[in-house]
Structure 1
């Protein structure tokens, strides 16, 4: 798997999880968070069910995530980690046709040790009455802040109402606003807390902001791709419409681009991602659906076609490059009416991004107006979550507790999960 030394989140979270305590983990994507909960989960499941074999294992662990792509990625990671174990895993994230839903229904009825799911799709299956959580021991919420931002909070509460109160609950979020704290109090019991959520980009990312009129942004992208000579690039747009328009314009310029946005069917989103990973397309144009949790090795360049309105999204977007030990470049194209949002980003990350004029052969660069900084620089910034706070006490929640460590048997990998 290529692991040599644990990352900070792994070093702190794994012992807590193995001690069977509830956990709040505040950590950005790209910090090794997935392995931080999957590896100890796999150990506990294997240990609790050693020496037994189930034809149809009951669900022991549920991992809830905000997007289909992240569900598929975590399921793949679990498949790799559990390759030499009898632990079975299953992804439930919708998309496709009615036949796909029936396949998920059959798989859930057969049972699986670990289920990774999006809240909406999991709730659909729960309401049908055939999902059995009676032996659930572990509940994991990953990217909890994103799930709340996407309106899943009531779905999550309903799903938890079907879970045993005696369980171990792990709660991961990139940020910890009050609404996240409130949900954590509801579902966790005396949790230990880790805070490694640094709202700053990696130091391995070279950042620059170009002042450019909106009408010249496509021309600037064409120029940047020609001079950077990078093997691949992700371009982020703020809306589905601009994503579709930019993909079409780039292809008209003979730039091999594909797109990912929520209007695409799941099979088409997966196809686009695979084509980008394989190098068939060198440019992936995407909405913020790609900004969190999706790990693509070797992304050399990220371009923000539009400045994200939410300053925190900037950190997640450019975090698609400089993964692991690699370095990366992030360019942001800033129209005059987007300057205020750029200054909010600088306030959040507590650093000034290098300002660059566009080449004169493309056009004139509007000056950066420092008045926009004074009017809009407050943002959501600050030094929230700096450093490693280690383990802190938590508040007793009113919802489920931890426990439920008495697993009843070991499941074999169903055919669909065998390699």
Structure 2
């Protein structure tokens, strides 16, 4: 389905074309008509499905003819500054030929940014994208007027609640007019999300698209190994698998720093992102990554939901994520839009049970790759999972505990 079928304003269609959007994704086909009809919405969609444009385009189309030059009309709440920046950049691209103004408001920036944010909130920006904590800081100063809000979007609502933003969200919503259109997007739909939806949505439409499953086009593989084998294997994978852009996720920032140093010593162009960096430093790294100047980023989970770069074709999990949702969001950084991608997870002996639980969430085993001979022997894959009746058993995927061979040259082939 082409975007012209939605009857968007001509200036918005110009921005869509300039942003290289071709055909609408399935989530966009379902969500856009609902929002354009003025209905509240609760939507569950996996990462990489195009949900950002799904809520931005109908909102922007409406605001082109109904914007208030001195008021905020659309408010988008997000869990992280990286996601706020990302959505802000998408708005800038799509609104280039329109009269829509916008600003991204997030913590961790300097006093000069706070002054600019204050000015935008006082003089009016059509769309404000923000993290709850930062917006609450402005609200407490008493100069924010949200009386003209027409749209409220909660993006990655499950993540915001997991991060403890429930009270902040409730306080922010108390400053908004009751007559508004509210859109809630979440990767998962636990009871706490449904409770929130019941309190802030009015007779919402509900859309569910492939909850908690990564796109099928992502090639997933796992190496079962000993912990000391991880670092040399990562070097090998990054040197032998062709890629335009790669992200290596580590659970701890100490591992990020160590791995970045080792890869730099190996003469590889890499940069790191973690909470010890200033916001300006993170933005500089991301700019280098999106431009292609830096082909490899080593990052903590701070980046797992906060980056949308179409050229990422390789994701490596240096360790097993804490749960299935984190796994889905990590590997969802690749195979964006219509592209393909590969996700490789390194699993040591202590992480086997956690990885088997992720396989249960996926509904199928992840292919176990054969370790190249030069790295030595590896442990068998023998995770211990609790059976439904309370006992324990071994989970061996679909290979009876034996790792299957895969064609190493094909492993790195760009699809």
User: Does TM, scored on the shorter chain, surpass 0.5?
Assistant: yes
For 1:327-342, list aligned pairs within 5 A.
Answer: 327-342=340-355
1:357 match: secondary structure: coil
**Counterpart in the other structure of 2:267:** 254
Q: Does 1:241 align with 2:254?
A: yes
Aligned partners of 2:23, 2:394: CA distance in 1, in Å? 39
Equivalent residue for 1:68, pick from 51, 76, 81: 81
> Quick check: 1:6 aligned with 2:19?
no
- Length-normalised TM-score, structure 1: 0.85
**Secondary structure of the residue that 2:129 maps to in structure 1?**
strand
Corresponding position of 1:348: 361
Contact 2:109 2:280 in 1 (8 A): yes
RMSD across aligned positions (CA):
1.7
Question: How far 1:231 moved relative to its partner?
Answer: 2.8
Q: Quote how far apart the aligned CAs of 1:372 are.
A: 4.7
Q: How much does 1:165 deviate?
A: 1.0
Kindly indicate whether the alpha-carbon contact (under 8 Å) linking 2:222 and 2:344 is maintained by their aligned counterparts in 1. yes
Say which of 171, 192, 199 aligns to 1:186. 199
Shift of 1:217: 0.5
SS of the residue 1:317 aligns to: helix
Kept in 1: contact 2:78–2:130 (CA 8 A): yes
Moved more, 28-37 or 247-256: 247-256
CA contact under 8 A between 1:119 and 1:152: conserved in structure 2? yes
Paired with 2:320 and 2:394, the residues of 1 have a C-alpha distance of 14
| 1:224 and 2:237 are equivalent in the alignment | yes
Give the Cα–Cα distance (whole angstroms) in 2 for the partners of residues 192 and 309 of structure 1.
Answer: 32
Q: Which residue of 1 aligns with 2:46?
A: 28
Displacement after TM superposition at 1:377 (Å): 8.6
* Range moving further from structure 2, 327-336 or 82-91: 82-91
In 1: Cα distance, 2:290 partner to 2:90 partner: 16
Between the aligned partners of 1:197 and 1:136, the Cα distance in structure 2 is 31
Secondary structure of 1:270's counterpart equals: helix
Inter-partner Cα distance in structure 2 for 1:105 and 1:159: 16
Measured in 2, the distance between the counterparts of 1:364 and 1:138 equals 57
- Alignment check: 8 A CA contact 1:357 1:365 kept: no
Match of 1:213 among 203, 226, 229: 226
Post-superposition shift, 1:108?
1.6
Q: Matched residues in 2 for 1:281 and 1:150: separation? A: 30
Aligned residues: 373
1:44 aligns with 2:62: yes
Q: Hey, what's the Cα distance between the residues in 2 that align with 1:248 and 1:184? A: 45
Q: What is the CA distance between 1:245 and its match in structure 2? A: 2.0
In the alignment, the residues of structure 1 paired with residue 372 and residue 41 of structure 2 have an alpha-carbon distance, to the nearest angstrom, of 50
Specify which structure has the bigger relative contact order, considering alpha-carbon pairs within 8 angstroms and separated by 6 or more residues: 1
Kept in 2, the 8 Å contact 1:29–1:293? The answer is no
Q: 1:59 aligns with which of 64, 72, 91?
A: 72
C-alpha contact 1:344 1:377 (8 A) present in aligned 2: no
| CA deviation map 1:23-62 (0-9, x unaligned) | 101111211101111110011112335xxxx6x4201110
Residue-by-residue CA offset, 1:241-275 (whole Å, 9 max, x unaligned)? 22222212221222221111122111011111111
Alignment partner, residue 388 of structure 1: none
Shift, 1:368, TM fit: 0.6
Measured in 2, the distance between the counterparts of 1:229 and 1:89 equals 38
Once the two structures are superposed, residues 270-302 of structure 1 have per-residue CA deviations (whole angstroms, 9 ceiling, x without a partner) of 111111222332210111122125211211211
- Distance of 1:31 and 1:229 partners within structure 2: 25
Q: Deviations over 1:137-194 (max 9, x none)?
A: 1111001011111111111111001111111111010110111111111111111111
Q: 1:47 to 1:122 in 2, by over 3 A?
A: same
Asked if the contact 1:339–1:372 (Cα under 8 Å) also holds between the matched residues in 2, the reply is no
Instruction: Give me the whole-angstrom Cα distance separating, in 2, the residues matched to 1:193 and 1:85.
Output: 30
Unaligned runs of 5+ in 1: 379-419
Q: Is 1:139 the equivalent of 2:152? A: yes
Say if 1:83 and 1:333 are closer, same or farther in 2 by CA, change over 3 A. same
SS in 2 for 1:147: helix
How much has 1:223 moved relative to structure 2?
Answer: 1.1
2:140 is matched with 127
Runs of 5+ unmatched residues, structure 2: 1-18, 396-415
